[in-house]
Every structure is written in structure tokens, then in C-alpha cells.
Amino acid sequence: MTSEVVEDEFEFYSKAEKYWKDVPATVDGMLGGYGHISSIDINSSRKFLQRFLRDGPNRTGTTRALDCGAGIGRITKRLLLPLFKTVDMVDVTEDFLTKAKSYLGEEGRRVRNYFCCGLQDFSPEPNSYDVIWIQWVIGHLTDNHLSDFLKRCRAGLRPNGIVVIKDNMAQEGVIMDDVDSSVCRDLDVVRKIIRRAGLHLLAEERQENFPDEIYHVYTFAMR
């Protein structure tokens, strides 16, 4: 539980904002010095996502996606824009969203909105998104704020839409990282928060071929 490791909620959020303001607006900056894993990450995410986009009665649409904790648009550029007609991006760091406009190139014209906002304060437009992609950012939310945000994401989905979380998982419990002011939760804690938000888990997958020294990374699809 984050309530056991986050002593001051205001400080938890403001310290994280300050940390990201000093991070270079590059792929390597977005990935904490692990820029070389970006292609492995994107390729796995694409395979995971495409199983929901294939033909079938409950097929997820490809009209509009939302990239949460989007940074400079690494996922928007390489995963979402090739698969969706339009994408919206949300990130707490204004400099990253400014950089995104040049980083995304010509295809960036299909990004409709750049929302500069922390996810604890962000509400996706109801009934608007086929996919809401949330990667490497849930650690910056308290349990209550994450649960509430996921409830708002649920309301933001179009018919057959899905919410996807991809993030680090701790071996046990909740671990605080004082450097970037984030937490890392274990699988059981994350699953409990997903259930608390009224979402149903459709698929869960562990990322392969990442460096041994980093946390295990899991991807969840839910609606």
C-alpha cells in the first residue's frame, strides 16, 4: 500500500514533477538511460496490442488512442500512430510535450491534443478512446489516485475499448524510490487496484528480453 511508504502526498507529487523537469527530453531520458531497450519494448507491445485489434465480434477499434505519461511521444510515435487514426498525449512535463511536436515529425499532425497534466488530475473524455495506454507512470500515483484514475479511464473507453498498463513490478509489497519519487508495486497489489477500479483483466504478460538488473515488467489489458 502506498499509504505505508508515502508520508506526504503533496511532496510525493511535487518532488516527482521537479525530477522530470531535469530529465533530458530524449528517448534515453524517457527510459532512464535504457534507451537501447526501446525497440524490444515497442515490438512486444505491438504484438500484445494487435491481438485485440484483430477481426472478431469484440474487436477493439483503431480510431483514437490516449498515451498517458507520454513524455516526448516515444510510444505515440512508434506504437500508437502506426495503428490508430488519431492519438492524444498527456504528460505532467510541458518541455516533453513541446519536444514531442518536433520528435513526432509529419505523423504528429494526427496528434489531436497535448494535455499537460498529472494523471491524478486528468479525466479522459468519456466514451472517446479505443485504447488508453499507461506505461511506466503508475508508480507516480498513490493507490487511491491510481484507482480513481482507472475508473475515469473506464468511462473514457469506447465500446470494446481497452485500458493497458505496462510497468515495473516489485517482487513483494510496495517499494519507494526516493530519487524520482515513485513507487513500485508487486503484482498482487496492482491486480487489487485494477479490481477496485471496476475493471476486468483480459490479459497479462511478462516482458521478455529486458536486462536482468531491472525490475520485471508486466503488461495488463482490461476493460
Residue 216 CB contacts under 8 Å (≥ 6 apart), including other chains: 168, 169, 171, 206, 207
Q: Confirm or deny that 93 is annotated as ligand binding.
A: yes
Instruction: Convert 72-93 to b/e letters by CB count within 10 Å (16 or more is b).
Output: bbbbbbbbbbeebebbbbbbbb
Distance CA 130, CA 141 (A): 23
Q: Confirm or deny that 69 is annotated as ligand binding.
A: yes
Distance CA 194, CA 46 (A): 22
Q: Residue 137 corresponds to which cell in the numbers above?
A: 507512470
Q: Confirm or deny that 50 is annotated as ligand binding.
A: no
Q: Confirm or deny that 135 is annotated as ligand binding.
A: yes
Distance CA 31, CA 199 (A): 28
**Contact at 8 Å (CB) between 220 and 204?**
yes
Q: Confirm or deny that 32 is annotated as ligand binding.
A: no
Q: Confirm or deny that 121 is annotated as ligand binding.
A: no
Distance CA 168, CA 52 (A): 22
Q: Confirm or deny that 202 is annotated as ligand binding.
A: no
Extract the annotated binding site for S-adenosyl-L-methionine: 69, 74, 91-93, 119-120, 135
Binding residue positions: 69, 74, 91-93, 119-120, 135
